[in-house]
Amino acid sequence: MSTFVADVKTGKVIRASNPDLPRYPASLTKLMTLYMAFDALKAGRLHLNQKLPVSYNAAHQEPSRLGLYPGTTITVQQAIYGITVKSANDAAATLGEYLGGGDEKKFAKMMTAQAHQLDGWYGDSSRMYVAGKASVKAKKLINDTYEALMRGIEVVKPGATTGDIGHAIETYAKGKRLGVVEDFCGHGIGTVFHDAPNIMHFGQPGTGVKLETGMVFTIEPMLNLGTERVKILEDGWTAVTRDRKLSAQFEHMLGVTEDGYEIFTLSPTGQHKPHFN
């Protein structure tokens, strides 16, 4: 998972004007809350059935979509469901405040630490995490999406083209009867978060931009169980499949070397690969 956060509309990294209590857009706050929750789940500091006390601040988030109020509790799994499915502010506030040890400012500082550049350079990556028990179809989709990403990466070398990458991904995905989302793409990255070239996840061999040693970009296919069509919800952030079927995405950031490629977003513990509870 990336430790760099950008506004999807502008492509710019979100910076906090107040280091003690940054004012993140609500959607980014929920995204970062989920990121830190999954990190805590992996480390065993948090458990899906763990009950969280609903605080005063969380219970008065507007609009309230879960109807939480002080003195009640909500499980971690219910909070994650509320954030991901209902985009519930009260669930995000409850989970976030718990992660900050009940201290809103402490949680804001934790968020700040996750949104930054490193010496002026940006990084970008995406992984899939499963909350609870995944269905057989969901597991297969996740595994196939990761494999599609790696098929695209394997063709990267000097002299290859962006069309070669897209063709490798599309060919594999279509063979699995999966929809390849065309609305989003990989991108060049460096001292600018979203830069040229665009890396489409479909295409024809030999077309597009020719790859050269030293290029750095992301490949991030999004595959669907149904149609490739998606839409953005009213919050301007959340993307859903139009047929409401499952979707999965993996992303790596890599560079073109003299004899191939180097992936910069591998996990030393193998967390970049699909794994299930």
77-131 pLDDT per residue, tens: 888 888 877 777 788 888 888 888 877 667 766 665 554 456 677 888 888 888 7
Query: Other C-beta atoms within 10 Å of 138: how many?
Result: 16
Cβ 55 vs Cβ 95: under 8 Å? no
Size of the chain, expressed as the number of residues it contains: 277
Question: Maximum CA pair distance of the chain?
Answer: 63
Q: Identify the pLDDT of residue 20.
A: 37
Residues 127-170 have pLDDT tens digits of: 888 878 889 999 999 999 999 999 999 999 999 999 999 999 99
* CA–CA distance, 173 with 161 (Å, rounded to integer): 19
The rounded distance, in Å, linking the Cα atoms of 85 and 69 is: 20
Mean pLDDT confidence for 171-199 = 92
Q: Which domains does the chain have, with CATH numbers?
A: 26-114 (3.40.710.10), 136-263 (3.90.230.10)
255 neighbors 188 (Cβ within 8 angstroms): no
Q: What span, in angstroms and rounded, lies between the C-alpha atoms of 30 and 92?
A: 6
- Mean pLDDT of the chain, nearest integer: 81
Q: How many Cα atoms within 13 Å fall on the side-chain side of residue 134?
A: 19
This prediction's pTM: 0.62
Name the pLDDT band for 251 (thresholds 50, 70, 90). Answer: very high
